[in-house]
Amino acid sequence: MKIYLAPMDGVVDSIMREALTNVGGFDYCVTEFLRVTGQVCPEHMFFRYCPELEQEAQTKSKTPVHFQLLGGNPELLAQNAAIAVKLGAPSIDLNFGCPAKTVNKHDGGAFLLQFPDRIFNIIKAVRQAVAQPTPVSAKIRLGYEDKNLVIENSQAVEEAGASWLVVHARTKVEGYKPPAHWEWIARIKEKLSLPVIANGDIWTLDDYLECSRITQCEDVMLGRGAISCPDLALQIKKHKAGEEYLPYTWKEVQPLVKQMFHQCWAFGNARYPVTRTKQWSKFLSRNYPEALELFENIKRHRDPEPIAQIIENSVSKKHIP
């Protein structure tokens, strides 16, 4: 079985990929989407979205990083995909799931789920521009406003030659509102012969087991669940291997937050460690009450210095079991 770390714009950048793949359990990561509008992107953009291109497109723990593109123009996407591969991307993923208004106005993401023929044309063009055996994959939602075209869209993905399909089990209109409709992934999987990867609302090991029972997919993609529970992929892998495993306590998560904070700070932009640490501690507070305490303590600070001190104090605080 394979576990993918989901692309998450503004959340899963190279620093988060490094932190989570170091914990373990992930087989692949995917970059945030690079939007392709009206031109071939300059090479530095590819390195900005995927600094791992400098290190064989792998995280420090050797997890391959796939490159995600978003757009509506087959030829331009094909040209940009070819550049990503030339720069070392091991795989190209095409985003047909992004619900953001700015994205849809620019013609891409979930907007295209209304047009199966356009999805077909885009994947076909990218497939032709990227030499085998480099994979080309697609990530879709169940539809735009409703689920009427989901099978047609999925078949378009397969017929165009995609290597696998990731399905986030919601429509664009459903946004991120629970529940994810895993039963639809089972319907899609039944109709296709290419590998299908299930995605949406896997927050715990039990969610994984239920999702994989309903969808019949062993392979999954974890997004918010992995940010909220950094060892979720590892918990799943250990369970599948029949090995005893004690999930991370806050004591094990804390150094990850500290390291992420300092790596972001080292980038030179003072806002970056501040916003990312607030964001991650909020996600983590779903599983760790101590993370909520951290969030409450840092939320009013705008500069990294006091946050560094708060993190330091909380790391050195004695933990009473």
Ligand X SMILES: Cc1cc2nc3c(=O)[nH]c(=O)nc-3n(C[C@H](O)[C@H](O)[C@H](O)COP(=O)(O)O)c2cc1C
What whole-number distance in Å separates Cα of residue 156 and Cα of residue 166? Answer: 14
Task: Show the binding pattern over residues 252-291: x = contacts ligand X (CB under 6 A), - = does not.
Answer: ----------------------------------------
> Binding of ligand X at residue 314 (CB under 6 A)?
no
Which of 41, 98, 211, 264 is flagged as catalytic? 98
> Binding of ligand X at residue 14 (CB under 6 A)?
no
Tokens of 6: 């989901």
What whole-number distance in Å separates Cα of residue 230 and Cα of residue 256? Answer: 9
Q: Compare residues 155 and 279 and give the one whose CB is closer to ligand X.
A: 279
Answer yes or no: are the C-beta atoms of 137 and 131 closer than 8 Å. Answer: no
> Binding of ligand X at residue 4 (CB under 6 A)?
no
Instruction: Give residue 207's identity as a one-letter amino acid code.
Output: D
> Which of these segments, 93-101, 116-124, 188-196, 259-267, binds ligand X (CB under 6 A)?
93-101
What whole-number distance in Å separates Cα of residue 284 and Cα of residue 198? Answer: 23
> Binding of ligand X at residue 29 (CB under 6 A)?
no
Q: How far is the CB of 178 from ligand X (least distance, A)?
A: 9
Answer yes or no: are the C-beta atoms of 259 and 283 closer than 8 Å. Answer: no
Number of residues that bind ligand X (CB under 6 A): 23
> Binding of ligand X at residue 48 (CB under 6 A)?
no
> Binding of ligand X at residue 64 (CB under 6 A)?
no
> Binding of ligand X at residue 50 (CB under 6 A)?
no
DSSP codes of every residue in 72-102: S-HHHHHHHHHHHHHTT-S-EEEEE----HH
> Binding of ligand X at residue 59 (CB under 6 A)?
no
Q: Compare residues 57 and 308 and give the one whose CB is closer to ligand X.
A: 57
Q: Which of 21, 73, 91, 95 binds ligand X (CB under 6 A)?
A: 95
What whole-number distance in Å separates Cα of residue 317 and Cα of residue 233? Answer: 28
> Which of these segments, 58-66, 91-99, 116-124, 207-215, binds ligand X (CB under 6 A)?
91-99
> Binding of ligand X at residue 20 (CB under 6 A)?
no
Tokens of 305: 């210095």
Tokens of 16: 């988060």
Q: Which of residues 166-225 bind ligand X (CB under 6 A)?
A: 168, 176, 199-202, 222-225
Is 29 a residue of the active site? no
Give, rounded to a whole angstrom, the gap between the first and last alpha carbons of the chain. 35
Give helix 271-284 / helix 289-298 axis angle, nearest 10°: 150
Answer yes or no: are the C-beta atoms of 188 and 140 closer than 8 Å. Answer: no
Helix (H, G, I), strand (E, B) or coil at 264: helix
Q: Which of 18, 32, 52, 219 binds ligand X (CB under 6 A)?
A: 32
C-alpha closest to that of 142 among 102, 108, 174: 174
> Binding of ligand X at residue 124 (CB under 6 A)?
no
Q: How far is the CB of 244 from ligand X (least distance, A)?
A: 26
Answer yes or no: are the C-beta atoms of 180 and 200 closer than 8 Å. Answer: yes
Instruction: Kindly list the catalytic residues.
Output: 98
Contact set with ligand X (CB under 6 A): 6-11, 32-33, 68, 95, 97-98, 139, 168, 176, 199-202, 222-225
